[in-house]
A and B are shown apart, each in its own frame.
Chain A
Amino acid sequence: MAGMELVSDQGYRIDGRKPSELRRIRCNMGVFTQADGSAYIEQGNTKVLAAIYGPHEASNNMRNRVCLDRGFVNCEFSQATFSSAERKKRSRGDRKGRDISAHIKQTFEAAIRTSLYPRSQIDIYLQVLHSDGSLYCACVNAATLALIDAGIAMKDYVCACSASLTKGSSLIDINHVEELAGCAEFSASILPKLDQIIYSELNGRIHQDELGLLVDAVSTGCRDIFAVIDQFVRSRLAETASYFTHS
């Protein structure tokens, strides 16, 4: 894929987007009945389901992770064997899966008010149905919605977005093809209303001066994602609340 033009001379990307344009986001909350909270998000072709169980008493194999003064987050990331272009042999437990699980756990331990749930465990399960780049980001956004659905106290929303750098300009919400191009990739999670970065990761090599550009691009992207999610949550809230007032 090296040498491929990520942005055309006219300023459009391979899938026809502008460099600072997100893919279409569609989401839903409460898609499952058995989990304590669940959500679904689509960012372009990347489709992720999230389920939350808990807070509950620590399961037997997690006993050593119990904290007396706060709750802990247990996260597992699974990717359906049919989700990627090439069929995967294993759906979870591979290096990439463990990596993403660890990052999501870290992200949400910073965002959940864990001190309200002493000695408890909160499970975040993520299932990728279709993977087309920015998996970590879609997972974080799905988990945020699922945590809201589960009624778990959070400091703020968590919104995540990725960005890449080509020829000195930034591209946000990168898809699978753009990931393959091998440019530097930066992803971050922010608390949009408190304006704090709680997770950031950079793969690849960039010039130090360009980092600011990427951080700006990602924060703008996160804010745009926040606007979409916020609108959805508010309309759902109003809908749910209207059942209470009429009955």
Chain B
Amino acid sequence: VMCDQTMCIPGERLCSSEQYQAGRGTYVRHGSVFATLAGRVERRKESGDNLLLIHVQSVHSQQLVPEIGAIVICKITQLSSSYAKCKILSVRGSYLNTSFRGMIRKEDVRSTNRDKVEIYKSFRPGDVVVAKVLSLGDASCYLLSTAENELGVVIALSENGDAMIPLSHDQMQCPKSLIKENRKVARPQSDYLSF
């Protein structure tokens, strides 16, 4: 990362678009890269690209919105036989002030044996789930997916209200009552959960 101490403000011309590739906080117009945020200009070498990436890091706190492919943390609110609804609480590791509605459809719960998935055996209301944004969905909610080993339930409470311990990819156990419950358990990876 090359981080010079230049500051920019919205609308400022940063460079020619032939020199650099426009990253976050910038846009291209008439062959030039312009800033859209007030902040610090950073130039970074992305692997595989021959152009340096230029982006603007805002010094002000920023509200993020979920975007396709982003890792989000959500809390399950409602279940039905074909989907689980949830509230998206954080995007790319940054906490949201207001939650967004999301939905995990039955076919997006796991990558294997998709037709045998049962929502009730995968999630329960109140579970904290790591998921990936699949699409912006319809007007009411984002479509999320947990169809990867790293995605799924990370925090779940048993019926008695104790935090459960994961046993396998589809089971968790209450440490007190020793009752086992079914979940789509995540194998969290540090890249997915960075705080």
| A–B contact via C-beta, under 8 angstroms | yes
Residues of A bordering B, CB below 8 Å: 30, 36-37, 54-57, 63, 66, 68, 71, 113, 116-120, 148-157, 191-194, 230, 233-234, 237-238, 240-241, 244-245
Give Cα A193 to B38, complex, Å. Answer: 14
* B-chain residues with CB within 8 Å of residue A55 when the two chains form the complex: 63, 65
Residue of A nearest to B58 (CB): A151
Chain B residues, CB < 8 A from A234: 7, 9
B36 to chain A: closest residue by CB = A153
In the complex formed, the residue of A with least CB distance to B7 is A237
Q: Are A151 and B9 in contact (CB under 8 A)?
A: no
Q: Which stretch from B97-105, B111-119, B155-163 is at the chain A interface?
A: B97-105
Q: Which residues of A contact B63 (CB under 8 A)?
A: 36, 54-56, 150-152
User: Are B37 and A66 neighbours in the complex by a CB distance under 8 Å?
Assistant: no
Chain A residues, Cβ within 8 Å of B11: 154-157, 191-194
A195: min CB distance to chain B, Å = 10
Could you show 8 A-B contacts with beta carbons less than 8 Å apart? A30-B60, A57-B100, A116-B65, A120-B65, A153-B36, A194-B29, A233-B9, A240-B60
Chain B residues closer than 8 Å to A153, beta-carbon distance: 10, 25, 27, 36-37
User: Are B61 and A36 closer than 8 Å at their CB atoms?
Assistant: yes
4 additional contacts, CB 8 Å, given A117-B65, A120-B65?
A57-B98, A153-B25, A193-B13, A237-B7
Minimum Cβ distance to chain A for residue B133 (Å): 11
A25 to B82, alpha carbons, bound, how many Å?
58
Supposing A151-B62, A244-B59 touch, asked if A230 and B37 sit within 8 A by C-beta, the answer is no
- Residues B120-139 near A (CB distance < 8 A): 136, 139
B43 adjacent to chain A (CB < 8 Å): no
Residues of chain B lying within 8 A (CB to CB) of residue A155: 10-11, 27, 29, 34, 36
Q: Which of B13, B38, B61 contacts A237 (CB 8 A)?
A: B38
CB distance from B63 to the nearest CB of A (A): 5
Known: A154-B11, A237-B38. A37 touches B60 (CB 8 A): yes
Cβ-defined partner of B136 (8 Å) among A68, A148, A238: A68
Q: Which 6 A-B pairs have the closest CB atoms?
A: A156-B11, A151-B62, A153-B36, A56-B98, A151-B58, A193-B11
> Which residues on B sit within 8 Å (CB–CB) of A119?
65, 136, 139
Cβ of B100 to closest chain A Cβ, rounded Å = 5
Residues in A whose Cβ lies below 8 Å from that of B46:
none
In the complex formed, the residue of A with least CB distance to B64 is A55
Q: Do A150 and B139 touch (CB < 8 A)?
A: no
Q: Is B166 engaged at the interface, CB distance under 8 Å to the other chain?
A: no
From A113, A118, A120, A245, give the contact of B36 (CB < 8 A): A113
Report chain B residues within 8 Å CB of A56. 63, 97-98, 100
